Chain A
Amino acid sequence: MTGPASNTPVVAVDDVSKVFRIPHERVSTLKERALHPFRRSTHERFEALRGVSFAVERGEFFGIVGRNGSGKSTLLKCMAGIYRADSGAIYVNGRISTFIELGVGFNPELAARDNVLINGVMLGLSPREARERYDRVMDFAELREFEDLKLKNYSSGMQVRLAFSVLVQVDADILLIDEVLAVGDVSFQQKCFDVFNRLRDEGKTILFVTHDMAAVRRFCHRAVLLERGRVVHIGKPSEVAASYVDLSFGEGDGSAVQREDGRSGDGSAEILEAWWEDESGERQGMLHQGRPCSFHARVRFTNDVHNPAIAALFGNERHEPLMATSTDWKENGTGSFRAGEEVEFSVRMDMAFAPGRVFATPWVVHGGHRVMDRRPEFSSVVVAGSHVSGGLVDLPHDVRLEAGERSFQSQGGAV
């Protein structure tokens, strides 16, 4: 992030809009066209992007998040030059490579060499560059011994490895990555992100489309949240992630009211109180790290309701989400409740959060999205502990060091 050009964004999106026309009745043969020359005029306009603007600096890891249908993939395709924006402008300074899918152009009937060639050329290399990088690609993918096999004889894991290693060797300045990359097992995903981080450290810029908030928080410097084609929020990943959670749970009917303390809901349920208890069941304002504890919330329903869900989000002083849980994450519903009925919701755990103040946001939702009551940072507790690791949580773990005969071992974390 040095150099004279560091103030110029590498990617700038300026007031971009994109409308898709979806014909009501697909008229695609000449006969139908001749019989109904004016029918095509009946189509629906779908505004996928509406006046989207943002800029990405060199060396940034930038997240583009939003729910399904929010326009994030359309935006990526506009930046990639696959779709043409209807209005506005997109500026790109540097060589750009798009990864909407791994291994674009791969053909199962061809051997690795040909597939690396075609994929590399599709991604912007010249055939000569692609051939020169072939060895590095095969080494990185650790597939040297299978290079004469046709791709169809590769396992799907090997295909992904091959494709990913082409991606790494393409050496673009700007990488546009779609969430479909999040295929494969956890260890492969981790490897992907390790590589993205390394590329970013080398000064590459990475734009990453996803709805995985955990990935956004872990890897992105900044993120933009889209909703129905509009930019809702640009900023720190934690803030954007919080807005995203609000959007996902908070999209209700108009009756949801936002109050001054941030409380929202349609009034059909009330979170009366929330508190913390230590292992002996005593209410506490302070808890010891590593000890069993529990969070409790008392809720009263003011209307009859079937299968409501109660959730809690725990965050730290910097409003970084630490953990979330919900009754909705199980198969069975919670059952029916009558108006006036009161319930107690609780979460039991060993306190693994880092020392400091922990805030709890309880909420009650119904039908997936309708917020009945939500009280942001309604209750807080201080976590006490002498162990300050700098991390957000301290999980129990072992530390080991081995050098020949000698060895060192200690237990760490919240013990």
Chain B
Amino acid sequence: MSTLDTAALGKPIKGPSALGTDFRRLAHLSVTLAVLEFKLRFFGSVLGYLWQLMRPLLLFGVLYTVFTHFVRLGAGVRFYPAILLTGIVLFTFFSDATSRSVTSVSDRENLVRKIEFPRLVVPLAVLLVAYFNLILNLLAVMVFVLATGVEPRVEWLALPLLLVALGLFAGGLAMLLSALFVRFRDVQPIWEVVLQMLFYASPILYVLDALPADVRPQVVRFNPLATILVQSRHSLIDDTAPNAWDAAGGMVYLLIPAAIAIGVVVLGFWVFNREAPRIAEEL
């Protein structure tokens, strides 16, 4: 029983959604939330940022001691400490962005249920915070890498591209996981296990050459994380190490990890976008 002259009223509002109607608002909110969250972690304790840096460094110290003195995985590998540290810092970013995003939407319940905003802001802010951390950590890594005798090269310019690729993969997972968690609480323990598996399935502790020759291309082809790490080692640390396409057995094979990463982004966005209108009710 419509008694209104709806023609004069313009478009009806569309309700909550992933992206909202105003792209700037999405950006403003994500950045504001991320900056304040970062600030909180930064100033939350006496040593603040030092702890953010200490975590990967301590992990590095332990792993370095174990794998050079006891297990000798790094024996004979050129710049093994630099490779190990870079790998740890990149993986820390990936694990930070994804595992913190899992509960992000329900952690922000007080916002989601109280006010209208593009729902995508929540996982996006988590991703941004992880990026802020990564950039600071990379500065420390750079000092370390230079100290171990690695020469700066033009190929270092590939770093931003690698970080964007890594961020896309992590962002896709962040959308997927945060949306699924609202309905299925067991996403959290599952993802913890998957993260551990990914850690060992990626060339972080070991270099690719340590694997049997027939397994090497499979790892690079089907684990986008491995693809990025292999290419990072080649571009940033040791240009005598194989690059991603050689390791995968040809340029063509890189389409597989690319497709996986893009597939995750598309799937993640699709799921998140589908859930977004009802997230406030499901929480």
B2 touches A107 (CB 8 A): no
B281 touches A123 (CB 8 A): no
Q: How far is the CB of B239 from chain A (nearest CB, A)?
A: 42
Tell me which residues across on chain B come within 8 A of A297, comparing CB atoms. none
Instruction: Kindly state the separation between the CA atoms of A29 and B11 in the bound complex, as whole angstroms.
Output: 39
B110 at the interface (CB under 8 A from A): yes
A376 at the interface (CB under 8 A from B): no
Within 8 A of A (CB), among B11-41: 11-16, 24-25, 28-29, 31-33, 36, 39-40
Contact of A15 among B1, B113, B116, B183 (CB under 8 A): B1
- Known contacts A20-B281, A53-B4, A89-B12; A82/B186 CB under 8 A: no
Contact of A82 among B29, B44, B185, B280 (CB under 8 A): B280
A121 touches B3 (CB 8 A): no
Contact of A90 among B13, B44, B281 (CB under 8 A): B13
A28 touches B114 (CB 8 A): no
B40 touches A110 (CB 8 A): yes
B40 touches A121 (CB 8 A): no
Contact of B15 among A78, A91, A114 (CB under 8 A): A78
Contact of A101 among B114, B116, B117, B184 (CB under 8 A): B114
Tell me which residues across on chain B come within 8 A of A9, comparing CB atoms. 4, 9
A124 at the interface (CB under 8 A from B): yes
A257 at the interface (CB under 8 A from B): no
A12 at the interface (CB under 8 A from B): yes
Tell me which residues across on chain B come within 8 A of A167, comparing CB atoms. none
B10 at the interface (CB under 8 A from A): yes
- Known contacts A15-B2, A98-B116, A121-B32; A91/B12 CB under 8 A: yes
Q: How far is the CB of A77 from chain B (nearest CB, A)?
A: 7
A84 at the interface (CB under 8 A from B): yes
Instruction: Kindly state the separation between the CA atoms of A123 and B117 in the bound complex, as whole angstroms.
Output: 9
Tell me which residues across on chain A come within 8 A of B25, comparing CB atoms. 124
Tell me which residues across on chain B come within 8 A of A51, comparing CB atoms. 1
B111 at the interface (CB under 8 A from A): yes
B115 at the interface (CB under 8 A from A): yes
- Known contacts A15-B1, A30-B186, A105-B111; A84/B32 CB under 8 A: no
- Known contacts A92-B13, A121-B32, A124-B25; A82/B114 CB under 8 A: yes
Q: How far is the CB of B44 from chain A (nearest CB, A)?
A: 7
B117 touches A110 (CB 8 A): no
B115 touches A100 (CB 8 A): yes
* Least CB separation from A85: chain B residue: B15
Tell me which residues across on chain B come within 8 A of A8, comparing CB atoms. 8-9
> What class of interface size applies to chain A in its complex with B?
35 or more
Q: How far is the CB of A3 from chain B (nearest CB, A)?
A: 14
Tell me which residues across on chain B come within 8 A of A43, comparing CB atoms. none
B277 at the interface (CB under 8 A from A): yes
B240 at the interface (CB under 8 A from A): no
- Known contacts A98-B116, A121-B29; A82/B16 CB under 8 A: yes
Tell me which residues across on chain A come within 8 A of B115, comparing CB atoms. 80, 82, 98, 100, 104-105, 122-123
Within 8 A of B (CB), among A112-129: 114, 117-118, 121-124, 126-127
B278 at the interface (CB under 8 A from A): yes
Tell me which residues across on chain B come within 8 A of A79, comparing CB atoms. 13
Tell me which residues across on chain B come within 8 A of A20, comparing CB atoms. 281
Tell me which residues across on chain B come within 8 A of A107, comparing CB atoms. 36, 40
Binary interface profile of B, 249-283, with partner A (CB < 8 Å = 1, else 0)? 00000000000000000000000000001101100
A114 touches B184 (CB 8 A): no
B6 at the interface (CB under 8 A from A): yes
Contact of B13 among A29, A81, A123, A127 (CB under 8 A): A81
- Known contacts A53-B2, A121-B29, A121-B32; A82/B10 CB under 8 A: no
Within 8 A of B (CB), among A66-94: 77-85, 89-93
A320 at the interface (CB under 8 A from B): no
* Least CB separation from B113: chain A residue: A82
- Known contacts A30-B186, A33-B184, A82-B280; A104/B9 CB under 8 A: no
A109 at the interface (CB under 8 A from B): yes
Instruction: Kindly state the separation between the CA atoms of A257 and B19 in the bound complex, as whole angstroms.
Output: 54
Instruction: Kindly state the separation between the CA atoms of A28 and B151 in the bound complex, as whole angstroms.
Output: 53
- Known contacts A28-B183, A83-B16, A93-B10; A12/B4 CB under 8 A: yes
A91 touches B1 (CB 8 A): no
A328 at the interface (CB under 8 A from B): no
Q: How far is the CB of B190 from chain A (nearest CB, A)?
A: 8
Instruction: Kindly state the separation between the CA atoms of A88 and B110 in the bound complex, as whole angstroms.
Output: 27
Tell me which residues across on chain A come within 8 A of B29, comparing CB atoms. 121-122
Q: How far is the CB of B214 from chain A (nearest CB, A)?
A: 34
A400 at the interface (CB under 8 A from B): no
Within 8 A of A (CB), among B107-131: 110-117
- Known contacts A51-B1, A81-B116; A118/B9 CB under 8 A: no
Instruction: Kindly state the separation between the CA atoms of A107 and B8 in the bound complex, as whole angstroms.
Output: 42
A82 touches B116 (CB 8 A): yes
Tell me which residues across on chain B come within 8 A of A105, comparing CB atoms. 110-111, 115
Tell me which residues across on chain B come within 8 A of A12, comparing CB atoms. 4, 6, 9
Instruction: Kindly state the separation between the CA atoms of A124 and B33 in the bound complex, as whole angstroms.
Output: 14
A118 touches B16 (CB 8 A): no
A324 at the interface (CB under 8 A from B): no
Tell me which residues across on chain A come within 8 A of B185, comparing CB atoms. 28-29
Tell me which residues across on chain A come within 8 A of B117, comparing CB atoms. 122
A121 touches B184 (CB 8 A): no
A109 touches B186 (CB 8 A): no
Tell me which residues across on chain A come within 8 A of B114, comparing CB atoms. 82, 98, 100-101, 104
* Least CB separation from B43: chain A residue: A109
A-B contacts, 21 of them at CB < 8 A, read: A14-B4, A29-B186, A30-B186, A33-B184, A53-B3, A83-B15, A89-B6, A89-B12, A90-B13, A91-B11, A92-B13, A93-B9, A100-B114, A104-B115, A107-B36, A114-B36, A118-B36, A121-B28, A122-B29, A124-B25, A127-B31
7 nearest A-B residue pairs (beta carbon): A84-B15, A89-B12, A81-B116, A91-B9, A84-B277, A121-B32, A100-B114
| Interface, chain A (partner B; CB < 8 A) | 8-9, 12, 14-15, 20, 28-31, 33, 51, 53, 55, 77-85, 89-93, 98, 100-101, 104-105, 107, 109-110, 114, 117-118, 121-124, 126-127
**With A20-B281, A110-B39 given, can you name 5 additional A-B contacts, CB distance below 8 Å?**
A53-B1, A91-B6, A110-B40, A114-B39, A118-B36
